[in-house]
A and B are shown apart, each in its own frame.
Chain A
Amino acid sequence: MMLTLARRESFWGFAFIAPWILGALVFTLLPMGASFVISLTNFDPRYPDAVQSVGFANYQRMFSDPLVLQSLAVTVKFAALMLPLTLGVSLGLAMLVNNPKLLGRNVFRTLFYMPTQIPIVATTLIWQGVLNLHTGWVNYVLGAFGIAGPDWLNSTVWVYPGLSLISVWGTGTMMLIALAGLQSIPTELYEAARIDGAGKWAQFRNVTLPMVSPVFFYNLIIALIGTFQYFTQAYVLTNGRGDPDNATLFFNLNLYREGWRYYDMGYAATLAWLLFVIVLALTVILFRTRSRWVFEGAAR
C-alpha cells in the first residue's frame, strides 16, 4: 500500500516535470555536448565540410593568448567599478521610491524603471550622444559647474566610468528587487530601533542593510553574471573592435570576434566554455561565502 502510494507520487512528479526534462535535454544538454565537440575542432562556418579535429589545441592556445588575458582584465576592471555603483544606486533609488513621504511614488517607480524598457541598442546610442565630449549633455552640465568634462568614450581610462553610467541607467530592475526587499522589512523593526534611540543612520546600518542583504546578494550574483556576458554596449560603441586600444575588449566581445569576425568557431566555443567555468566558479565562491555577506536571520 505504502509502496503503491510512493510509486504513484513518483509517477505524478515525473509527469509534471517531464516538460522541463524534455526541454533541457533538447535545448540545453544536447547542444552543450555538441558545443564541446565543436571546441575540439577547427570549425569554420564558411567551409562546413572542411572541419577537422584538433584535439585540445584550442584549449592550449587559450592560455597563451594575450587577448584572452586582456579581455579578462577589461571585464574585471569594469566589474570593479560598475558593480558597486549599480548596487548602491539601485538601493538608493529603491529607498527613495519606498519613502512614504514621496508624493506620486508610482509615477517615480515607473520613471526610474522606464530606461530598462528601451531597446539596448537605442540606449547605447542615446548615451553615445549624451557622453560626447563636445556636444554631450553630461559635459554641458559639468561645464555649468566649471568642470571640463572628459572624453568619456574615447579614453582608455574614462571609458569605464562612461560605460558604468550606462549600466547605472539600466538599474531599474535591480531597483524593483531592492524595493521588494525593503517592503518585506517589518515596520516593527524600525519602531524597535527608534525606541532604542537609533538615529536615521543607525536605523539604516542596523535594520535596513542587514534586512536587504539577501536581496543585495541576489542582485550581486545576477549583476556579476551579467558583467561576464556584457557585450552589446561595447559592440555598438566600437563597431565590435574594442576601441580605444582594446580598452573595451570585453570577454564576450573577444569571443564574438574570434567566432564571427575571424570565423574561428572552434576557438570561440572553447572561450565559451572558459566563460562557463569562470561564471560557475564565481557563483560557487559567492554562495560559499554567503554567510559573510548576508544577514542569515533574514532568510526565510
Chain B
Amino acid sequence: MTLAAAQQLPHIGLRGLLGRRLRKWTAISSVTFLGLVVVSAYLMPLGYMAATALKDAAQMSETGAPLYPAKPSTFTWQGQDYAVYNVPTADGVRQWALVDPRREDATFVDPAHPESGTIEWQGRWRTLEQAWQFGLELENFVTVWNQINFGRLLLNTFAIAMISTLGTLLSSTVVAYGFSRFRFPGKNGLFLLLLATIILPFQITLIPTFAVFLALGWTGTWLPLLVPHFFANAYNVFLLRQYFVTIPRELDEAAMMDGASPFRVLISVIVPQSIPVLTAVGLFHFFFAWNDFFQPLIYLQGNIDLQPLSVGIAVFNALYSQKPTLIQAAAVMSIVVPVAIFFFAQRAFMRGIVITGVEK
C-alpha cells in the first residue's frame, strides 16, 4: 500500500459516512417537506375555520378583505367613522379616510392632517385597496361561551361518553368471551345474526325504538343514550372476539385447573391479555360518543340541561346561521378536547388497531 493510498483511506471513510448521512437527511427532509405540503393542503379548511373564528363579522362579506383576521382601519372625523383606503397620489400611496364616495370621484380626509379639511380625488374608489389592520376577534369565543353554557355542555358530554364507554367495554367483553370460548347450540347462527345487525340501517328501527323508550318514560333523560350500551355492541363484540380467539387456550385451561370459574378466567386471564385492544375499542367508542348527535338530539329534546356539546353546537349553528364567525368559533371550541385526547392516546390507539388486525 502506498503512502498516498494509506492517507486516503480515512478520508474516504469520512466522506462515505458523510455521504450516507447527507443522503439520509436529504431523504428525511424531502419526505417531511412533502408531508408538510400535503398536510397544509389537507388542513386548509381548518385554517379557514380558525381564521373565520377569529374574524370580525364585518370582514365576512367584504370583497377584497384579507384571508387572515383583520379589521378595516377607520378614522373618526366629525363624529363619524370612515374607512381608510390606500390612495395613490403624486407623492406616493397615502392612507386617507373615505368621507364621501361617488362613482368617478370621491372626497377623502387625511387622518394625519384632519385640520386641513377634505381632499377631492378623481378616480374610482372601488379600485382602491382598503387598509386593513391585523386584529383577532377573540370576543367570538366569549360570546359562544356565554351563549351556550359551554361548561355544562362539556361536563354532560364527558359524563355520557365515559359512562357509555364503560358500558360497552363491560358488556361487549363478556359477550365476546362467550362467543370465543364456549360451544353451545346455535352458536354459529347467533354469531351470523350478530354480524348481520352491523349492516342494519338504523332507519329501520328508529321509530319503533323511540316508541319503546317513550313507553318506558326514558325520553328526556340520559337512559336511552346509556342503557343500550350495557347490552353489547355488535361491532365491538366482533372485534374483541377476533382478538380473544388469538389468546392461547392453554392460559385459561391452566387457570381452570387451579379451580378458577369461567368468570374468574375472563377477569384474570383474558382481560389482562387484551389491554391494547380494549383501549382501542374504548377510545373509538369514546370519540364516537363525544360526537354522537342524533340520539342525544332525539332523546333529550327540550331538556337543555342534559344535552351534550354536539347538540348544543348544532342548536347554536341553527340559531346563528347568519353569523359564520360565531359558528366557527364554536366548532373550534368543540374539538379541543377530542383532539388533545387523540394526540396523547395515539400510541395506545394505534397499537390496539394493529393488534386487532383488520381483515379478520
The closest CB in chain A to the CB of B39 belongs to A111
Whether A99 sits at the interface, judged by CB under 8 Å, is yes
Number of interface residues of A (CB under 8 A): 91
A137 to B206, CA, bound (A): 39
Interface string of A105-129 (1 = CB under 8 A from B): 0101111111101111110011101
Whether A32 contacts B194 by the Cβ 8 Å rule is no
- Identify which of A16, A115, A122 contacts B178 (C-beta below 8 A): A16
Whether B209 contacts A280 by the Cβ 8 Å rule is no
- Which of chain A's residues have a CB closer than 8 A to the CB of B209? 27, 31
The closest CB in chain B to the CB of A105 belongs to B35
Whether A180 contacts B353 by the Cβ 8 Å rule is yes
Enumerate B271-295 residues with CB–CB distance to A below 8 Å.
287, 290-291, 293
Whether A126 contacts B184 by the Cβ 8 Å rule is no
The closest CB in chain B to the CB of A104 belongs to B32
Which applies to chain A's interface (DSSP): helix, strand, loop or mixed?
helix
Given contacts A10-B185, A12-B262, A19-B175, contact A126 B353 (CB under 8 A): no
Enumerate B171-192 residues with CB–CB distance to A below 8 Å.
171, 174-175, 177-179, 181-185, 187, 190
- Which of chain A's residues have a CB closer than 8 A to the CB of B197? 24, 28
Whether A130 sits at the interface, judged by CB under 8 Å, is yes
Whether B204 contacts A32 by the Cβ 8 Å rule is yes
Whether B34 sits at the interface, judged by CB under 8 Å, is yes
Whether A183 sits at the interface, judged by CB under 8 Å, is yes
Whether A52 sits at the interface, judged by CB under 8 Å, is no
Output the least CB separation between A71 and chain B (Å): 13
Whether B175 contacts A17 by the Cβ 8 Å rule is yes
Enumerate B186-241 residues with CB–CB distance to A below 8 Å.
187, 190, 193-194, 196-197, 199-209, 211-212, 228, 230-232, 234, 237
Whether B155 sits at the interface, judged by CB under 8 Å, is no
Whether A19 contacts B342 by the Cβ 8 Å rule is no
Whether B331 contacts A17 by the Cβ 8 Å rule is no
- Identify which of A26, A93, A218, A265 contacts B359 (C-beta below 8 A): A218
Whether B35 contacts A96 by the Cβ 8 Å rule is yes
Whether A279 contacts B171 by the Cβ 8 Å rule is no
Whether A23 sits at the interface, judged by CB under 8 Å, is yes
Whether B360 sits at the interface, judged by CB under 8 Å, is yes
The closest CB in chain A to the CB of B40 belongs to A111
Output the least CB separation between B14 and chain A (Å): 24
A278 to B286, CA, bound (A): 30
Whether B128 sits at the interface, judged by CB under 8 Å, is no
Whether A19 contacts B232 by the Cβ 8 Å rule is yes
Whether A190 sits at the interface, judged by CB under 8 Å, is no
Among the 9-residue stretches A192-200, A241-249, A267-275, the one with 4 or more Cβ atoms under 8 Å from chain B is A267-275
Output the least CB separation between B32 and chain A (Å): 5
Whether A169 sits at the interface, judged by CB under 8 Å, is yes
Whether A17 contacts B179 by the Cβ 8 Å rule is yes
Output the least CB separation between A197 and chain B (Å): 20
Whether A114 contacts B231 by the Cβ 8 Å rule is no
